[in-house]
Structure 1
Amino acid sequence: MIPPASAPLFLESCGWGGAQILPLAGDASFRRYFRVVDGDRRAVLMDAPPPHEDPRPFVGVAEWLTGHGFAAPSILGRDLEQGLLLIEDFGDARVKEHVEDVPADEDAVYRRAIDLLAALHRLPSCDLPPYDRAVYQREAGLVTEWYCPAVGLDVDAKGYVAAWDAVLPLVERDAVPPVTVLRDYHAENIMIIEDGERSFGLGLLDFQDALAGHPAYDLVSLLQDARRDVDPALEQAMLAHYKARVAVSADFDAAYAILGAQRNAKIIGIFTRLWKRDGKPRYLSFLPRMWSLLERDLAHPALAPVKAWFDANIPAGHRHDALAHEARA
C-alpha cells in the first residue's frame, strides 16, 4: 500500500498539496484506496492503474447517481490518464460493521438499503452497456474455468452453457425496462453517512462495473451477501418490503433465484481465481457460504437444468469445504 509516485503532484494540482497520504484499503481488483488528510479536510485517493483499471466508468456513474440525489462520492479531482481520482470521503462506518456492532439496527438499516434500491429502480437506467446473455454466461463460466480445475474436476463445460441457456430467457423476458444495476451492492460497499437528506443516509461505493439489467440482481447482492450471513427470514422480509414499493412481475421470484445462482456461481469462480492467480487465499474462506447460497437458489424449480448439471458434475464432496485446507494455509 505505497502510494503511486505521481500522487503528490496530482494532489497538489487538486489543491491538496502537502497532504498526508495514508493507506486505506485494497480490494479484489487492482484498485487501491488511500485517505488524504490535510488539517481538518479528508478525502480519498483512488488509484486505478491503467491498463488494468479505468476510472472513467466510476466517474460517469458517480455523476449520474449524484445528479439523481443519491450519495455517491463527489469527484474532487481527476487524472484519468494516470488512473487517479480524488473523491469525497464517506468515513469508516460501513453497514457491515455497523449492524454487527449494533444488531438491533439491522432491520432498519436493511430497510433503508431496500428503499434506496426501490428509488433507483423507479428511474430509467443510466446510459450503460446491457447486462445480457453474453455477460451472464461469461461470469457463470468462471466456475468451470477456475473452480472445477482447482478441485480436480473435468466437467461438461458445454453442458454447463446449455443449462444456463435454458434458464436465462426468463430473466431476459422479465428485465424490461432495465434499471441501473450497481453489481456490488452489499454491506461492505454501503456506508452509513451523517447527512440523512442524501440517499437515505447511505453512501454508495464500488459501482464502476454498473450495467443496465434486471432489478433483482442488486437485491441478490445485498440479501445473499458473500461476506456476511444474512438470515433467510430477513432476506424474505426485505424482498416483501421491496415488492411493497416497486411493482414486480409474476416471474420476479424465479428471476431472483436465477440471478442468485448466477451471481453465487460467479463469485465462487472469482474467489478461486483470486487465490490461484492473484495469491489471495483469504477469499477461499467465503466459499462454504457461497455454496450454501448457491444450493438454496438451485432448489427453485426454474433452475432445474442448472441444478441437474451441478448434481452431475460437482458432487457434494467437491463443494463447501473442498478448498478449506488452502484457505488455512
Structure 2
Amino acid sequence: MPPAASAPRLESLRHWFASQHDLAIAACELRLAAGDASFRRYYRASLPDGQTRILMDAPPAQEDSHPFVAIARQWEAAGLPVPHLYAVDLEAGFLELEDLGDTPLSARFDDEATTLAWHQRAIELLHRLQAAAPTQGLPAYDAALLGRELDLFPDWCLAWLALPTPPSWPALREALIDSALAQPRVAVHRDFDAMNLMVQGETLTLIDFQDAVAGPPSYDLISLLRGRYRRFDAETFATFVDAFRRRAQAEGRLDAELDAATFHHQVAAMAAQRALKVLGIFCRLTHRDHKTGYLARLPHFLNHLRDSLAGLPAHGDFAAWLENDFTPALTRALAREGVE
C-alpha cells in the first residue's frame, strides 16, 4: 500500500470533500485507494446515498493537474471512456472523480486465452482513442522530448552502473528519434499500460492520461504489448502489429501505402525508445525518488529492449554491447542490491 498524504493535506482534503456535498466533517471517512510513481495519492470516499467517489490529492508544488483536467474534459466530450470529474480545485490540488473500482486490466490476465482476448479489447479502445481524441492542445512528441526521454538511459541507468555510453549510442539515438518523427500524429496516452486501463464488467476505462501528447500511432501500441506484464513471442506480437496496421490504414490513420515491413521497423524503433526510457526512469525512481520495487522490473524491460533491437539489424553494435557489457553490469548491480 502506498504511503498516505501528510496529515494536514489529508485533513484539508476531507474538509474540501465535505464542503462539496454539504456534509459534516465527521461523516467523511477517506480510505487510501492507490498511489503511483508520482506524488499523487487517491482516496475513496462515500456519500450518504451509498455512492463512492475517488479523491485525487496532487500537491501543486509537485504535480500540475491542469493537463489531466483539460484532457479528461476533452476526451469525455469526444465520447471516450474516462472518469467523470465531479469537482476540481486546481489551486489546492484536489479532484473528485468517478469511482472506477479496483480492477486494472492486469488483474484479468488469468490464462493465455483470456490475456489475448483482453489485449484485443484494449487495442479496440486504442483505435477509438486515436480516431476520436483531438491532437489540438496536446504537446508535440517532438525531437526534443524524444531525446530527453532517451537520455534518461545514460543519465540514470548507465550512471548507476558506472558504464560509459557506448560509441554506438549516438547513431541509435538519432535513428530512433527520426523513426518516431516519420510517423503521423495522433493523440498518444503515453502510458497505455494494463495498470492504466480499469475494468468494469467488459468495459475498459482510461486513467492516468495527464502526460498525453500528439505523437506516433505506434507508441501506445507498444506500451501495451511490451509493457510490464507480458513478453509476447515474436509471432503473437507480429500478429497484433499487423492487425493494428490494417485497421489503422482502413480508417485513414496510417498511409494506405505503408507496407508491413516498414511499419514493423517503426514499431521496433518505438519499442526500443520506450524500453530505454523505462530503464532510465526506473533507475531514477529508485535512486532519486527513493521508491522501491522498480529495480526488480529492469530485467523484464531489458528483454523488451532485446526483442526490439532484433527488429533493428542496422544497430547490431549496440545490441552486442548490450549483451557483452550492459547485461553483466546490470546483473552484478542487481545482486549488490539484493534483487533476484
What TM-score, normalized by structure 1, do the two folds share?
A: 0.89
Equivalent residues of 2:269, 2:312 under 8 A apart: no
The one-letter amino acid of 2:153's match is: V
1:136 lines up with 2:146 in the alignment: yes
1:187 lines up with 2:188 in the alignment: no
The one-letter amino acid of 1:6's match is: S
User: Secondary structure at the residue paired with 1:188?
Assistant: helix
* Distance of 1:98 and 1:270 partners within structure 2: 26
Aligned length: 319
Q: Aligned Cα RMSD in Å?
A: 2.4
Unaligned residue ranges in structure 2 (runs of 5+): none
**Which residue in the other structure is 1:218 paired with?**
220
Shift of 1:237: 2.9
Equivalent residues of 1:284, 1:324 under 8 A apart: no
Return the match for 1:205 from 199, 204, 207.
207
Shift of 1:16: 6.5
User: Secondary structure at the residue paired with 2:248?
Assistant: coil
* Distance of 1:109 and 1:296 partners within structure 2: 22
- Shift in CA distance, 255/296, structure 1 to aligned 2, threshold 3 Å: same
**Which residue in the other structure is 2:174 paired with?**
165
Indicate the larger mover: 309-318 or 254-263. Answer: 309-318
Unaligned residue ranges in structure 1 (runs of 5+): none
Return the match for 1:72 from 82, 85, 96.
82
**Which residue in the other structure is 1:55 paired with?**
65
Equivalent residues of 1:186, 1:221 under 8 A apart: yes
The one-letter amino acid of 2:204's match is: L
**Which residue in the other structure is 1:272 paired with?**
283
Shift of 1:324: 4.1
* Distance of 2:124 and 2:21 partners within structure 1: 37
What TM-score, normalized by structure 2, do the two folds share?
A: 0.86
Return the match for 1:295 from 278, 293, 306.
306
* Distance of 1:141 and 1:134 partners within structure 2: 10
Write out aligned runs for 1:95-114 (5 A): 95-100=105-110, 103-114=112-123
1:93 lines up with 2:103 in the alignment: yes
The one-letter amino acid of 2:18's match is: E
- Which stretches of structure 1, 4 residues or more, deviate above 6 A after TM superposition? none
* Distance of 1:306 and 1:87 partners within structure 2: 49
- Shift in CA distance, 97/89, structure 1 to aligned 2, threshold 3 Å: same
Equivalent residues of 1:151, 1:323 under 8 A apart: no
* Distance of 2:265 and 2:53 partners within structure 1: 42
- Shift in CA distance, 94/312, structure 1 to aligned 2, threshold 3 Å: closer
Whose RCO is larger (CA < 8 A, sep 6+)? Answer: 1
Q: Map Cα deviations across residues 253-302 of structure 1 (whole Å, 9 max, x no partner).
A: 11111111111111111111111112223111100000000011112236
**Which residue in the other structure is 1:238 paired with?**
240
Equivalent residues of 1:114, 1:241 under 8 A apart: no
Write out aligned runs for 1:6-25 (5 A): 6-15=12-21, 17=23, 18-25=27-34
1:253 lines up with 2:254 in the alignment: no
**Which residue in the other structure is 2:329 paired with?**
318
